[in-house]
Structure 1
């Protein structure tokens, strides 16, 4: 059971890093630092978008329009951190 929980925790931590990379990439694209016509940049952007958009879309539907500010990644990060804490504090001790 502990091995399964460790894999879940690792997957959540990996997804946190993917969310952060997606946010940074969106800033770089928005400010014109990276060129979207570059194949490598476009491939990375497509991967990050496809990995994060299914989780962010429902959050964006619920949130009110805040203009140009998108706080959905922050809310998703808070949810992931909450899930990790629940696993650490309640599920790990119950697994033994």
Structure 2
């Protein structure tokens, strides 16, 4: 059961870093540091969008419209961190 706990924590860590990478890349694209016409940038952006859109779409359905501000990544990060805390505090159930 320890292995299951470690695998779940690893998946949550990877999800955390993917969300952070998506947020940073969106800032770089919006500030025109990265150009979406470059094939590598467009491919990475598309992959991150396809990976995170199922998570963000569920959160966006719950959140009210904020006129241009997308809080879905912030809510997702808080949810991932809260899930890590809950799992860590209940880690004895996995042993």
**What TM-score results when the alignment is normalised by the length of structure 2?**
0.94
Greater relative contact order (CA < 8 Å, ≥ 6 in sequence): 2
Cα pair 2:2 2:94 within 8 Å, conserved: yes
For the pair 1:32 / 2:19, whether they are aligned, the reply is no
Q: Which runs of 5+ in 2 are unaligned?
A: none
Task: Compute the RMSD of aligned alpha carbons.
Answer: 0.9
Equivalent residues in 2 for 1:19-58 (5 A)? 19-58=19-58
Q: What secondary structure is seen at the aligned counterpart in 1 of 2:67?
A: coil
Find the aligned partners of 2:25 and 2:94 in 1 and give their Cα distance.
Answer: 38
Q: Which runs of 5+ in 1 are unaligned?
A: none
Count of aligned pairs between the two proteins: 95
1:72: Cα distance to partner?
0.8
| Runs of 4+, deviation exceeding 3 Å | none
Find the aligned partners of 2:74 and 2:2 in 1 and give their Cα distance.
Answer: 28
